[in-house]
Structure 1
Amino acid sequence: MVALLLGIMVFFLVLNFPMVIPMVAAPLAVIIFFIPNMDLAMSVQQLIAGVSSTVLLSVPMFILAADIMCAGNTTKRLLDLVETFVGHIHGGMAITTAITCTMFGAISGSTQATVVAIGKPMRQRLLKLGYQDGASSGLIISSAIIALLIPPSISMIMYAVVTGSSVGDLFIAGVGPGILILIFFAIYSYFYAKKVNIPRLKKATWEERGKAFKRAIAPLGFPIIIFAGIYSGFFSPTEAAAIAVLYALILEMLVFRTIKIKDLHRIALSTAVVTCAVFILVAGGQLFSWVISYAKIPQMLTSAILGVDPSAIKILVTVTIFFFIGCMFVDSLVVIIILSPIFYPLAMQAGIDPIHLGIIITLQAAIGSISPPFGCNIFTGCAIFNRPYIDIVKGLPPYLIMLVVITAVVILCPQLSLFLL
């Protein structure tokens, strides 16, 4: 049964079929050959059930809010604000990049949107200061992954849908690890710039900082609204997504006037394409998870790999390895949908907090997005910067090493994720 499931998936992937094809074809083959008494209509019910969760309503709205801001003037205002405060120190421009990626991630929830929005303006600034091509590209695509840890995070929403965990708690728990990544990147940027003698910018006056703050105060309202609203219980994550869209429209159309009504069709079409891709994967993942659960494949795999009565640390390390490797080759949403149902029950039996588990899984999804050979941010960087694959990859090792260290810290210190709950 397992051989058939994996064989069909590998077969379709080698033939370069879209991921949803093997995700649906493999479980259907298992049903036909190993569970012949099961009505195939139940597989259709599972596909529908996969996209029936009300939590998924927030996904297209967060994507739409991000698309609106990418098309508007939000990014430049955030960049200018951060630059006036840290641009004059060693590595100030690199630190500006990392901080702005974190701030934009708190608006968009997407690593790829962050690469596009921050990467285009920042790469040229970094190159002019003397940063090498690989160093600047590596910094941008690595800093963009903080978007998956800082709320709102689409990966966290997917984990919540699959496991039934609280989206709001996941959003809040991601803040600590996200800030820890930012601190690591900022410290590295400081010493790297000092080592290679990157020139510093002129220190901004408080008057200039005040002007930059006034220009950026409206975009700064996004993370404040989302985080404070959810943390206080004033509204749910789904309601926060709707408010984010409304706020983005008001900001870019009425305040900044960078988007016109005629632009909305193009923006909405972009959102629809991404949303459809995500929802199709979720539906296929639900069918896949249901079949492997029915066939008790998770129990067989976990007992074979982890043995009887494994410790919490052993489970978390195994989860980390499986998700890290999976996200290196396949889109992180697919990995979360497929692997989470396998490890979640075992983790609960071992007394692992579901929110802590979700943060570790999200962190591996983030790391996987910049890990060769198939990290999605790598290819996004190749397209946006118009640079070959090897130029993008060669700047990544320092950041991957830091992220491995951060993963170990998060595993050993659960309160780093849970202290705000």
Structure 2
Amino acid sequence: MKHIAVIGAGITGVTTAYALLQRGFDVTLVERNKYAGMETSYANGGQLSACNAEVWTNFGTILKGLKWMLRRDAPLLVNPSPSWQKYGWFTKFLFSIPTYESNTVRTVEIALAARRHMFEIAEAEQIDFDLVQRGILHVYDDAASFAAATAVNKLLARGGLERRRVSPAEISLLEPALSGDFHGGYYTESDYTGDIHKFTRGLAAACVRLGASFQYERDVTALDMKSEVRLMTCNPAGRDPGDLLADGVVICAGVESRRLARLAGDSVDIYPVKGYSITVNLDTPEAQGSAPWVSLLDEEAKIVTSRLGPSRLRVAGTAEFNGYNLDIRRDRIRPLVDWTARRFPGVPTNSVIPWAGLRPMMPNMMPRVGRGRRRQVFYNTGHGHLGWTLSCATAQTIADVVASGD
């Protein structure tokens, strides 16, 4: 194979293209938006977090979900309307519970490998993405949640992650801007944060310098596979049909990967899980001085923060099972704003940019990385809430699979 088409120019697609270029392939990226990184890779929580590698396939998640079902502001919200896709996905989720421990450990291992690759790429290509290396601090309100975190910490340690317990006093020393009474916390000094959109756009530009071509504003409508792969495309309005010929195709299209897999004769059971974020503009020296620099995860609220340079604070959270709906709901944004005001009283929330994106989740919470049924078709997709954290490693894996020719 010489020429590979990559479908999707989000974080997984662009890192995959870069890894393929490094191995000598000709690469064409096909993206339905006008620019790279305009969907789920636009405004996520910003954390590159091996410490958040615990997969969701455990009974604790199910119990919390049942408890939250009647709360519109709950961290996890499920639209109860019937859907074969949704309830089939949940059934497979339940059957994945026995793999909870092994998948958590494996996710940590992938995250640590991705961290090394990301630093190498950013240095080699001189990509500025508001990198902040001040660690990630998890905080817990009560003894029960802290005890559960201690059990999870043993799994993270098996995967090779080092993090340490911290007392309430140490929490205050690590991040003086944080307000609240906490039972305790865990601090992962080696984790970090950055702007996923800036990194994706910067790496897309590097791919162009290395010889990749991009076909923007093109939807893939059909795949015809004989000795080559023919991608039939059109513009977002359904007009201006065109073809692209390649020796192989890597599907990295987020929640659209399920539809594209069907075109290739495969089944990739991705469900779109909506997450929300706000970007708080820190327009004054007082606001900048009142906002945190250490990245946070509040376990009770399931909310994370990342400082994106001196003048922006990203606050993100929630998981919403509501199909492909991308509406930005006020009742889901409001808890993020209120939490920010409560935890950081000196940060004004009068200038806030809301956003919602669809995380591509597999039932077992593990990305689909490998070959499809046909020898010309490959997948690097389904990273869920950890696409930013895992992508630089899974890109290397799929590029090796393509290059092996097996």
Q: TM-score, normalised by structure 2?
A: 0.24
Larger Rg: 1
Q: TM-score, normalised by structure 1?
A: 0.23
**Structure with the higher strand share, 1 or 2:** 2
**Structure with the higher helix share, 1 or 2:** 1
